[in-house]
Structure 1
């Protein structure tokens, strides 16, 4: 079984590794996003998918636009049985979709959370279940017929990183299942009336207020480690805990100082704060921070 693989982040790399190590499956080409400048020095850095491909001597393609005629013609010359796509970052044009069955592993229970950030979106919405959908791709954004869905539970304190790992494990097993049993499945149409969409996460999404404790905590779960959650003062909330969502308080008011944390009020509810990171400084425990700022109970955390 010959496979063209398309993907970019860690989630995709895990699936690629699974395919590479599965008997009777051969990855004949890998498509991933172009190398990007990273860090303050803007060092040109390859995607983790490219790194995995090169480590396994697989030819890598990195077109800026998959829709370019020469890119399409080059891909069509690669003989394959399937094209597997996982968080690639580009929509496949019709000519590529017709080259071989294109199977996408999307990290949500479609038609929920079509788009770029389904894992974070499930956490932001406080979902208690999510999953991976194996989908036969069409020209739309995550609108293709569903081959199979595998669901998992989300713990109430689940963080993005652990949920990414769990869903990557599910996606790996689902990929192999669908490829090995493709002809046994009958893809089903999505119910578009139940669809929802999510966009790419930006750094600005991490700014939070002490409006509602549950909303703040869900943003913390979804946006840790990147972009993190921070106040308008750029103070990052590095380690926090949700307490309750019933009381009414003055926004950001320090309600109590404990041995290793403080309790902060929100207009609705309250949270416990353990660690923070001031702008351009290292992470520190919250007691060191408030002592340095000379603030205490009844003052505002900012």
Structure 2
């Protein structure tokens, strides 16, 4: 029986934790997650998904504000364990904890590519057709530790972020069990820092688009739906779109060049998009035909 401390916060980590709990030869002795946070306009104090699972299975739960605090470090060092598993926890582990037991991190990219906070979205933004999950030994840097094993995952050109999230989460859960069971058979391999790339935390501002490049807009749509979504300078959200053409160049960006019963085609400086649904600022989502009729827009007009 392998005893582990689990550290994680969002749904990605929750599903890995659930898989670990369901595995007979692994025992979760403690769970660490971020403190509850206010969510939404009403700022309702909401527990992270990992906390809910820990409570469901009556696993000792800790939510320190800072993992580096002396009391928190002492607390962890007093918990005997064989491994510490970390998945999207959101805090850097101090050296004392890294030395307590092998710390295994599950990162949703093929490291050293896409170190940082948003690897799944970055995969879609860049139009990659392959990604994966890396199991690595943690060190004090951000996603810089020695690699234990990588599981690759194919990415369809129309795959949305939620579907890719589910695929990578399942892969990460299975990889976690594999690495815990076979840890001593793997030879850690150093990352090539010269090949490293980074991705930042996503903000609402990242969803802003202009009709420049249809492929780039479509990739943003795949990466940022449902949040933060993609939207024009007017505040109009593009809620359901397809890539119509990606290579044609146009002098007039944003021009409506085709209208049918369910959609319109809009030009970009490079390529074109087919749009099915939109959401005007402070209004409900609607089909695009109703929107252009209400705005009295037709062929050759500009979508704003």
State the TM-score bracket (shorter-chain normalisation): over 0.9
- Aligned residue for 2:31? 30
- Aligned residue for 2:138? 137
- Aligned residue for 2:41? 40
| Paired residue secondary structure (1:282) | coil
Verify: 1:149 aligned to 2:150, yes or no. Answer: yes
Partner Cα separation in structure 2 for residue 5 and residue 192 of structure 1: 27
- Aligned residue for 2:301? 299
Partner Cα separation in structure 2 for residue 187 and residue 105 of structure 1: 14
Partner Cα separation in structure 2 for residue 159 and residue 117 of structure 1: 14
Which runs of no fewer than 5 residues in structure 2 stay unpaired? none
How far residue 297 of structure 1 moved from its aligned partner, in angstroms, is 1.1
| Paired residue secondary structure (2:177) | helix
1:270 to 262, 265, 272: 272
How far residue 251 of structure 1 moved from its aligned partner, in angstroms, is 1.3
- Aligned residue for 1:290? 292
Partner Cα separation in structure 1 for residue 148 and residue 3 of structure 2: 20
Partner Cα separation in structure 2 for residue 64 and residue 252 of structure 1: 47
How far residue 98 of structure 1 moved from its aligned partner, in angstroms, is 0.4
Partner Cα separation in structure 1 for residue 48 and residue 220 of structure 2: 26
- Aligned residue for 1:67? 68
Partner Cα separation in structure 2 for residue 154 and residue 275 of structure 1: 25
Partner Cα separation in structure 2 for residue 278 and residue 183 of structure 1: 56
How far residue 180 of structure 1 moved from its aligned partner, in angstroms, is 0.2
- Aligned residue for 2:258? 256
Partner Cα separation in structure 2 for residue 271 and residue 204 of structure 1: 21
- Aligned residue for 1:4? 5
| Paired residue secondary structure (1:100) | coil
| Paired residue secondary structure (2:249) | coil
How far residue 61 of structure 1 moved from its aligned partner, in angstroms, is 1.0
Which runs of no fewer than 5 residues in structure 1 stay unpaired? none
Cα deviation code 1:211-245 (max 9, x no counterpart): 10000000000001111111111111100001111
Taking structure 2 as the reference length, the TM-score comes to 0.98
Cα deviation code 1:172-217 (max 9, x no counterpart): 1100000000011111001111000001011110111111000000
How far residue 68 of structure 1 moved from its aligned partner, in angstroms, is 1.1
Partner Cα separation in structure 2 for residue 281 and residue 137 of structure 1: 46
How far residue 65 of structure 1 moved from its aligned partner, in angstroms, is 1.1
Partner Cα separation in structure 2 for residue 297 and residue 140 of structure 1: 54
| Paired residue secondary structure (1:232) | coil
Runs of 4+ more than 6 Å apart: none
Partner Cα separation in structure 2 for residue 168 and residue 88 of structure 1: 14
| Paired residue secondary structure (1:29) | strand
Cα deviation code 1:72-131 (max 9, x no counterpart): 111111111100000111111101100110000000000000000000001000101000
After TM superposition, the structure 1 stretch with the greater mean CA deviation from structure 2, 243-252 or 106-115, is 243-252
What is the aligned length? 302
| Paired residue secondary structure (1:28) | strand
Verify: 1:123 aligned to 2:124, yes or no. Answer: yes
- Superposition map of 1:1-302 within 5 A: 1-249=2-250, 250-302=252-304
How far residue 155 of structure 1 moved from its aligned partner, in angstroms, is 0.1
Taking structure 1 as the reference length, the TM-score comes to 0.99
